[in-house]
Chains A and B, each alone.
Chain A
Amino acid sequence: MEQQAGIWQKINKTLGSLKLTLFVFLTLAVFSIIGTLLPQGMTEQDLHERFGPGLGHWIESVGFHDVYRTGWFRFLLLLLCVNLVVCSLQRLPKTLKLIRHEEGDINPDKLLKLSTHVELTTRLPWEETRSRLTRVLSDGFASPKVSLSSDTYTAYAIRGKWSPLMVYVVHSSVLIVLAGALFGSIFGFKGFMQISEGASSDEVILSSGHQQITLPFKVRCDDFDVSFYDTGAPKEFRSDLTVLTNDQPVHRQTIRVNDPMSYEGITFYQSSYGNTLKLAELELSDKAAGISQKMTLRFREAGSIPGTQDRVQLVQYQPDFSRFGPAIGVVLQKHGQQESSGSWILVNMPDFHGNRIENYHVKVLRTEVSQYTGIQVKKDPGVWLVYAGFTAMLIGIGLAYYTSQRKIWVWAAPKGSAQRVVIAGRANKNSLAFEAEFTQLCERFMNDLK
């Protein structure tokens, strides 16, 4: 059993050791570096293309293509949390003792052993010495706890009493931030929405995995507008949005970059914009068969060519098809044929010989284009927890920097015709700054007791 305790003892010691902390910090740093040297989020096919099958496969098996989401990176974060908790629990008793304990018996030998101490004698009468000691201590440092016996005077004063606890605030803030991130990744989602002007949608394409989810309400883009600087750089773009539940407007807001809309815990961020085709009027002619027909097709809605059994559909739209201007992807389903065929029709070049599918020459007479607004959609129930962690961290580090716990003891007793006085002090950190403060305080004592 005793041997058992030995092992547990050893594990507990390492789990709480600062060596482990250093190891985890520096290992996290190294693996994060790898994550920046190698483009993240590459698919298997990209890896093979770029590094060749052998290396590509190795990178994927080790997880360097997606460092921050691999098991062992998360294990390192977990190890950091465990190390943090064990270390804090081990050190908390000592810290609490440091705060509550008031050094009961103050005697000169103990004080002289402290590195920051001063001994002086004064000719002032005993009562005078005592009252001056107390006054200088409370004016120059902090109001002391004084105890008197027949022939000895002792005083104890403390500043920054709670300062040693600040480190625990910093450390718990790290746990809060990680907990918030975990909570958010489990119960939240992140995706993208594309809504044409005037249209409404409730479909969100998730950014990881590309599945689709539907929102419990619809979002309509009433108007989209973009303005530019004279240098051509975009100055601002905004969308007027309306939230509809069973087609009743329940909320209306204009969103801009940096100025999102939130509704029922879901936030909509203005992130990009573009153009999509609403409808197009086409002229399809087949010189050999002597057919020439006009028809108007709404985007993505199939329609049959008048006077024929063939069906045609506008399936894609590119605002600028490799510098040839806008182009529409048209698909033709010939009557009685299994597969359909498709091709790109250049809108601004009607007589381009390539504007053909099968036997038809296609000319675009008119198009109606609408702008769409690109919106980033996010639900993250963990955000406020992360923000709480951020605040606690800043307060903790700030106070850990600006405050330190400082104690001053004074002992005095008559000796012959004069009084012997011993003053000592101790700080829990920034010792040099404390030594300067201590020397200044002692100068005040000396001047006052001359």
Chain B
Amino acid sequence: MNSSLLLSVTTFAYFGSTALYLSGVVFRLKSVLTIGSLVALATLIIHTVGIGLRWKESYDLGYGHAPLSNLYESLVFAAWAIMLLYLIMEYRTRQRTLGVFPALFAFLAMAYASFSTSVDAKIQPLLPALKSNWLIAHVITCFLGYAAFAVACGISIVYLIKKTNEAGDKPGAMMAMMPEARQLEELNYQLILFGFLWLSLGIITGSVWANSAWGTYWSWDPKETWSLITWLVYAAVLHARTMQGWRGKRAAWLSLVGFGCVLFTYFGVNFLLSGLHSYATQ
């Protein structure tokens, strides 16, 4: 029983949980939603044990460091954070109908981490530059922010579907189970402000770490700049709320743009760095 076994079980279990949430909503069966939620909770526990085990395994190999130092480990943590935030929200709002997208995002992150060839799952030693507890603080805060934005993105999609349905003549049966548009809008806002807090903390820990380690708290390198771009878009979403005409659908669309930036910050920039040789990093 090692961490990679547990984490692959987690991947498939998240797929199961997505299917349960989806069928619960499509066939309007509350019991199926409850099962989906229980499966999600059980998987999150296995997921947590898997991450803990990988942490221990890295110490056994003599490279002892928190499992947050490469693409594989950050993907696994991202999935974990998404599921954790969603289940907390599910518990507090007693709404189980919004589980489809968070479970789907968690599954996709785990699947990409385990199956894609470009992701190396091996436990490796830490480069000297990454040897600092700022690394743990920086990665965790950034990913809590991204996870909140991921769940908010799921809610924005549901909100937009619900709004277009309502505009149409026959409101879709599926949407009937979903919470009111007003509650979706406020949940979206709550999550975005929560994510904005963690993304700000993420950027700040990254900046303070860079300053304490290499002497520059901001060097406009593509990775930093893209997290700033994401931050600016979500700041725009927060402020759009207080403007008439921007509150409902436009804010939801902007929130999707924001999540697009999150994905690009996370995946695109690595491609960008290797794709275009950047003179700045000479």
Contact = CB atoms under 8 A, between A and B. Distances in A.
Contact of B197 (A35, A41, A394): A394
Interface stretch (A17-25, A96-104, A297-305): A17-25
A234 B183 contact: no
Interface string B221-233: 0100110110011
Contact of A432 (B186, B196, B207, B277): B186
Contacts of A431: 186
A235 B239 contact: no
Contacts of A39: 276-280
A270 B229 CA distance: 30
A234 to B, nearest CB: 6
B270 to A, nearest CB: 12
B250 to A, nearest CB: 10
Contacts of A38: 276
A193 B235 CA distance: 40
Contacts of B52: none
Contacts of B280: 39-41
B227 to A, nearest CB: 10
B14 to A, nearest CB: 28
A199 interface: no
Interface in B114-139: 124-125, 127-129, 131-132, 134
A386 B218 CA distance: 11
Interface of B is mostly: helix
B193 A394 contact: no
Interface stretch (A137-145, A362-370, A395-403): A395-403
A383 B211 contact: yes
A28 interface: yes
A258 B131 contact: yes
B125 A32 contact: no
A400 B193 CA distance: 9
Nearest to B217: A386
A32 B228 contact: yes
Contacts of A32: 225, 228-229, 232
Interface string B241-272: 01100100000000000000100000001001
B70 interface: no
Contacts of A430: 186, 190
A256 B236 CA distance: 41
A271 B129 CA distance: 9
A178 to B, nearest CB: 11
Given A229-B125, A234-B127, A378 B239 contact: no
A393 B204 CA distance: 10
A21 B235 CA distance: 10
A25 B217 contact: no
B216 A378 contact: yes
7 shortest A-B CB distances, which residue pairs? Answer: A378-B215, A36-B222, A258-B213, A25-B236, A257-B128, A29-B232, A39-B279
Given A26-B233, A42-B279, 7 more contacts: A18-B240, A22-B236, A233-B127, A258-B213, A383-B211, A390-B208, A433-B190
